[in-house]
């Protein structure tokens, strides 16, 4: 069974120590570093074991090598392109497989959460944009209503002034009519008396 060290290092770098994905990746790395066996790949594509079970690596050596290889260090040793593949013994294979599955599930869950979060952010952004557009439209409508209100006020003032003129003219006419009626009545009375 093999595992991508680059993936584990990426998980360790991306997720905080309290995150489940970080913890699982750390456990996987511990298992890998417990029983390392390094293999090399020849220029002809053959896989050869270096050291096998007889060669022991300390945890620090393993982590240093893992880091070097995950950063893409490419060294040639006597025509060999050396690539570390870490074998897991049969005894820890099952627990390793379960942890690896948990890591994949945790990463999938994180990706789903991230997609949901980004989708929610996009929806919120759309709602805010829609709200902003409505707010702008309502602000324009308020300006239009203010303009119309001023027009109506001017019309009201104009009509009030016109109404006052009409009232005054009416009073003048009514007064003139009364005066004429009084004169006619007076003349009628004088004519009746003659």
| Strands ordered across the beta sheet of 38-42 | 47-50, 38-42, 80-81, 76-77
| pLDDT of residue 68 exceeding 70 | no
Q: What are the boundaries of each domain within the chain?
A: 5-114
Asked whether the beta carbons of 9 and 65 are under 8 A apart, the reply is: no
In degrees and rounded to multiples of 5, residue 29 shows phi and psi of -65, -40
Looking at 8-17, 33-42, 103-112, which range is the least confident one?
Answer: 33-42
| Per-residue confidence band for 86, with pLDDT thresholds at 50, 70 and 90 | very low
Task: Output the CA torsion sign for 84, 90, 92, 97.
Answer: positive
The angle formed by the CA atoms of residues 157, 158 and 159, to the nearest 5 degrees, is 90
Taking the CA atoms of the chain, what radius of gyration do you get in angstroms?
48
- d(Cα 29, Cα 19) in Å, to the nearest integer? 16
Give the list of residues 6+ apart from residue 187 with CB closer than 8 angstroms, or none. Answer: none
- d(Cα 125, Cα 93) in Å, to the nearest integer? 47
- d(Cα 7, Cα 1) in Å, to the nearest integer? 15
| pLDDT of residue 84 exceeding 50 | no
Structure token digits, residue 88: 């897991």
| pLDDT of residue 93 exceeding 70 | no
| pLDDT of residue 158 exceeding 60 | yes
């Amino acid at each position: 069974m093999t595992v991508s060290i680059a993936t584990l290092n990426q998980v360790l770098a991306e997720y905080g120590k309290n995150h489940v994905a970080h913890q699982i990746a750390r456990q996987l790395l511990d298992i890998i570093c417990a029983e390392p066996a390094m293999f090399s790949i020849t220029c002809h594509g053959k896989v050869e074991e270096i050291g096998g079970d007889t060669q022991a690596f300390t945890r620090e050596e393993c982590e240093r090598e893992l880091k070097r290889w995950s950063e893409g260090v490419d060294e040639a040793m006597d025509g060999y392109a050396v690539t570390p593949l870490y074998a897991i013994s049969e005894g820890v294979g099952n627990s390793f497989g379960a942890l690896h599955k948990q890591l994949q599930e945790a990463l999938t869950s994180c990706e789903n959460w991230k997609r949901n979060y980004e989708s929610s952010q996009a929806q919120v952004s759309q709602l805010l944009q829609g709200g902003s557009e409505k707010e702008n439209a309502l602000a324009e409508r308020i300006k239009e209503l203010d303009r119309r209100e001023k027009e109506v006020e001017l019309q009201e003032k104009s009509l009030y002034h016109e109404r006052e003129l009409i009232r005054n003219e009416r009073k003048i006419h009514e007064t003139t009519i009364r005066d004429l009626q009084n004169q006619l009545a007076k003349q009628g009375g004088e004519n009746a008396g003659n």
